[in-house]
């Protein structure tokens, strides 16, 4: 049986100042349905690039390798179609959209995805009811719906807004790019609980993090270490604890 | 460079056959005709007209727009105005058709007076002729030479008029017509007027209005002008405003229609504490040109001026903003600020921005800034990564930029609702054409 998400030998580069910079140098990774995997690694190892490429950002050029998601060629799909088929990226730095009302944005997104999934669209009332319910579980003030998307949000509010979107869009694969960074312990728990609530045999997650702390709340099935555009080591949850104590250096040397 | 080698008088020839003979008309017209015959109308070699090509006026001479017209035609056009049925028809209003006041279509409230007179007799209306001495602007001269009627709106001391609608309709013929109406708005001490002007029309025409505005101490004029002129129309508009102590002039221009729209605005902050806000949005597509050229003159101390001009341009559209802040000697504690923001939606669209600060006082705060950009790739990707299709994402971001600019509009209620509706409608239409 083919895996839920299958990344094989993925290579990618970016053009910066006229020069090609290789960022991914053959990433291979399988995530079965229902599992939570973690990627750790030093800054600049290509973790965010991987998440962007999976979500469909076209600033990168994939030079070889392929990605299958639920049996489909993921790299051939438009970003909006990837979202509809169940992929969600929680941005490391959520984008501000001045002049775009958050409630309007969320409803547009939810209905766009529902349409593509062949579900009925939600009217304003039904949508608000649902959104308010999720807000409560994330300890968010209802007024975030009235504000412009992420504009003037604190770091924590932005991250929670990502979890809010994730919950409403009901993905089958969530990629969380340092969603815990810059959060205090309480906020981190709220975020982790947000993800835990979605956990089911039909939901997988790829979590990019630097902190063991998050993994206390969000226990992963597998942990991968990425450096210089490759996955050099994989293991169980204990690998994250080991890295937390010893740093990346011993693992990078061994590679 | 074959553009600039054409003789200056070329554009003037479109009107020359109608210029009155010198000295057979009054003194103002005689002076204006002399000025025009001497200087002609500008081409792109003239600094102030570098970015706006008057060849858009075409090659066929303009006939006089007629005072007599088909009333059904005017009525029909009136009903095509946005939100006419819901909002506009209920406002007190004065309607001007082909440059002439139309009492039948108008509904003037008791709170102000509106009078008209043949242009040559204007000296009776409070010596406004004085401002014309030393004409420096070609379309001021053209208006003076060809104006036939002056429309004079007067709000007396302390009267708060509230929202008034002004509609200008031009009924273009098969042959191009031109109209040169002259408006004078006078607000006495402490008076208050919110004016919403809508310019609309059909056919080919050249609209050359001049507005002279006098705002007395502690008086406030809020003026929103919506240009929805015909797609083949040229507008060459001149505003001269003079604001006395603690008076406020708040102007907002929204340009959507017209092939060529040039808006010249001169504001004189004449006494201590006067305020001017000259904001605007030009949302243009196809081959449209929109030009806002302003001079804000701080003559007295503690005056404030604010300007933000936004351009949203697609296809081959061109936006121009030339803004000058002039601070005269003795205008201490001046606070002047100018901002230009442009969103270019096509690689062929163009924006030209020229800020100018000329300062002769030493204790002033003046600033200017400009941003130009396409739609933000990261913002687009963010929306698409949430399942929103690319064209919808573009639509959302353009709408956000446009509606965000309405935050400059301090008017609430009717005016804001209208602007919002107008912008959304034209966004929908334009995006539809794109796809």
Nearest to B394 by CA among B336, B346, B325: B346
B144 in any annotated domain? yes
B75 in any annotated domain? yes
Q: How many domains does chain B have?
A: 2
Average pLDDT over residues A155-168: 94
Per the CB < 8 A criterion, the answer to whether B285 and B317 are in contact is yes
- Indicate whether B269 and B363 sit together in one domain: yes
Percent of chain B beyond pLDDT 70?
94
Q: Which helix (H) or strand (E) holds A113?
A: helix A102-116
Instruction: Give me the pLDDT at residue A145, please.
Output: 95
Higher pLDDT, B402 or A27: A27
Instruction: Give me the pLDDT at residue B3, please.
Output: 40
B15 in any annotated domain? no
Interface A-B, measured as beta-carbon pairs within 8 A, has a size of 74
Instruction: Decide if B381 and A56 are in contact by the 8 Å CB cutoff.
Output: yes
- Indicate whether B313 and B272 sit together in one domain: yes
> B120-137 burial, b for 16+ CB within 10 Å, e for fewer?
eebeebeebeeebeebeb
Instruction: Decide if A99 and B404 are in contact by the 8 Å CB cutoff.
Output: yes
- Indicate whether B394 and B368 sit together in one domain: no
Average pLDDT over residues B216-242: 96
d(CA B432, CA A1): 45
B434 in any annotated domain? yes
Instruction: Give me the pLDDT at residue A252, please.
Output: 76
Per the CB < 8 A criterion, the answer to whether A205 and A179 are in contact is no
Mean of pLDDT over chain B = 89
Q: Chain A residues with CB inside 8 Å of B379's CB?
A: 95, 97
* pLDDT above 60 (res B9): no
- Indicate whether B297 and B241 sit together in one domain: yes
- Indicate whether B100 and B228 sit together in one domain: yes
Selected for mutation to probe chain B from A59, A92, A112 (highest B CB count within 10 Å) is A112
d(CA B206, CA B20): 18
Per-residue pLDDT tens over the stretch B12-53: 999 989 999 887 888 889 889 998 988 889 988 888 899 998
Q: Chain A residues with CB inside 8 Å of B390's CB?
A: 78, 80
The β-bridge partners of B310 are B281, B341
Q: For residue B111, what are its two tokens?
A: 């709170």
A242 vs chain B: nearest CA distance in angstroms? Answer: 34
Q: For residue A52, what are its two tokens?
A: 């962007």
Q: For residue A129, what are its two tokens?
A: 């009811």
Domain span at residue A119 reads 5-254
- Indicate whether B231 and B277 sit together in one domain: yes
Instruction: Decide if B384 and A83 are in contact by the 8 Å CB cutoff.
Output: yes
Per-residue pLDDT tens over the stretch B108-137: 999 999 999 998 754 433 344 444 445 578
Q: Chain A residues with CB inside 8 Å of B378's CB?
A: 95
Average pLDDT over residues A22-31: 95
Instruction: Give me the pLDDT at residue B130, please.
Output: 43
Instruction: Give me the pLDDT at residue A2, please.
Output: 56
- Indicate whether B386 and B268 sit together in one domain: no
Nearest to A191 by CA among A235, A87, A174, A44: A174
Name residue, tokens 């990837």. Answer: A82
Per-residue pLDDT tens over the stretch B352-378: 999 999 999 999 999 999 999 999 999
Mean of pLDDT over chain A = 92
Domain span at residue B434 reads 376-435
Per-residue pLDDT tens over the stretch B260-313: 999 999 999 999 999 999 999 999 999 999 999 999 999 999 999 999 999 999
B326 in any annotated domain? yes
Angle at alpha carbon of residue B163, lines to B426 and A101, rounded to 5°: 45
- Indicate whether B339 and B414 sit together in one domain: no
- Indicate whether B345 and B400 sit together in one domain: no
Per-residue pLDDT tens over the stretch B154-164: 999 999 999 99
- Indicate whether B311 and B404 sit together in one domain: no
Instruction: Give me the pLDDT at residue B238, please.
Output: 95
- Indicate whether B294 and B328 sit together in one domain: yes
Q: How many domains does chain A have?
A: 1
B149 in any annotated domain? yes
A82 shares contact with chain B (CB less than 8 Å): yes
B263 in any annotated domain? yes
Q: Chain A residues with CB inside 8 Å of B404's CB?
A: 98-99
- Indicate whether B325 and B382 sit together in one domain: no
B28 in any annotated domain? no
* pLDDT above 90 (res B235): yes
Q: Chain B residues with CB inside 8 Å of A58's CB?
A: 381
Interface of B with A (CB under 8 A): 377-379, 381-390, 392, 396-397, 399-401, 403-404
The CATH number linked to A221 is 3.40.50.300
């Amino acid at each position: 049986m083919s895996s839920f998400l299958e990344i094989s030998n993925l290579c990618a580069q970016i053009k910066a100042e006229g020069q090609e910079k290789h960022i991914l140098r053959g990433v291979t990774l399988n995530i079965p349905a229902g599992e939570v995997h973690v990627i750790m690694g030093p800054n600049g190892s290509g973790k965010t690039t991987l998440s962007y490429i999976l979500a469909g950002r076209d600033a990168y050029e994939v030079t070889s390798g392929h990605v299958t998601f639920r049996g489909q060629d993921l790299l051939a799909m438009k970003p909006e179609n990837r979202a509809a088929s169940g992929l969600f990226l929680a941005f490391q730095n959520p984008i501000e959209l001045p002049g775009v009302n958050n409630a309007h944005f969320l409803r547009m997104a939810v209905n766009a995805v529902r349409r593509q999934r062949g579900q009925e669209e939600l009217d304003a009332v039904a949508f608000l009811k649902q959104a308010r319910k999720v807000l409560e579980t994330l300890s968010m003030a209802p007024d975030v719906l009235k504000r412009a998307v992420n504009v003037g949000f604190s770091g924590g509010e932005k991250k929670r807004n990502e979890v809010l979107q994730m919950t409403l869009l009901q993905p089958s694969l969530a990629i969380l790019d340092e969603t815990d960074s810059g959060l205090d312990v309480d906020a981190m728990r709220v975020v982790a609980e947000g993800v835990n609530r979605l956990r089911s045999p039909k939901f997988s997650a790829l979590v990019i993090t630097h902190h063991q702390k998050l993994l206390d709340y969000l226990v992963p099935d597998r942990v991968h270490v990425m450096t210089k555009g490759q996955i050099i080591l994989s293991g169980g949850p204990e690998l994250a604890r080991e890295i937390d104590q010893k740093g990346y250096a011993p693992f990078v040397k061994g590679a | 460079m074959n553009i600039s080698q054409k003789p200056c008088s070329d554009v003037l020839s479109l009107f020359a056959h109608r210029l009155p003979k010198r000295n057979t008309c009054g003194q103002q017209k005689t002076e204006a005709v002399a000025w025009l015959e001497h200087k002609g109308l500008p081409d792109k070699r003239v600094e102030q007209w570098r970015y706006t090509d008057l060849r858009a006026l075409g090659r066929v001479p303009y006939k006089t727009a007629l005072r007599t017209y088909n009333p059904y035609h005017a009525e029909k056009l009136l009903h095509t105005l946005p939100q006419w049925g819901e909002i506009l028809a209920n406002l007190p209003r004065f309607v001007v058709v082909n440059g002439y006041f139309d009492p039948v279509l108008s509904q003037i409230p008791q709170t102000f007076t509106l009078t008209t007179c043949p242009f040559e007799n204007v000296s009776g209306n409070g010596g406004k002729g004085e401002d014309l001495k030393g004409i420096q602007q070609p379309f001021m001269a053209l208006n003076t030479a060809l104006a036939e009627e002056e429309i004079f709106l007067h709000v007396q001391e302390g009267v708060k008029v509230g929202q008034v609608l002004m509609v200008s309709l031009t009924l273009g013929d098969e042959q191009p017509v031109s109209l040169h109406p002259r408006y004078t708005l006078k607000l006495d001490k402490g008076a208050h007027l919110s004016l919403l002007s809508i310019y609309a029309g059909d056919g080919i025409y050249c609209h050359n209005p001049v507005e002279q505005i006098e705002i007395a101490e502690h008086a406030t004029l809020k003026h929103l002008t919506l240009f929805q002129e015909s797609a083949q129309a040229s507008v060459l508009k001149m505003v001269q405003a003079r604001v006395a102590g603690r008076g406020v002039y708040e102007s907002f221009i929204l340009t959507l229609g017209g092939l060529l729209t040039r808006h010249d605005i001169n504001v004189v902050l004449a006494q201590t504490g006067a305020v001017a806000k000259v904001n605007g949005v030009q949302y243009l597509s196809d081959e449209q040109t929109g030009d806002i050229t302003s001079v804000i003159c701080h003559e007295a101390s503690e005056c404030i001026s604010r300007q933000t001009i936004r351009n949203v341009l697609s296809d081959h559209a061109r936006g121009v903003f030339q803004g000058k802040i002039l601070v005269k000697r003795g205008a201490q504690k001046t606070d002047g600020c100018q901002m230009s923001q442009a969103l270019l939606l096509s690689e062929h669209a163009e924006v030209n921005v020229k800020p100018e600060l000329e300062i002769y006082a030493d204790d002033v705060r003046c600033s200017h800034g400009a941003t130009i950009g396409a739609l933000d790739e990261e913002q687009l990707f963010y929306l698409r990564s949430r399942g929103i299709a690319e064209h919808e994402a573009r639509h959302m971001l353009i709408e956000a930029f446009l509606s965000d600019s309405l935050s400059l509009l301090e008017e609430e209620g009717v005016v804001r609702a209208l602007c919002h509706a107008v912008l959304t409608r034209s966004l929908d239409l334009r995006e539809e054409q794109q796809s």
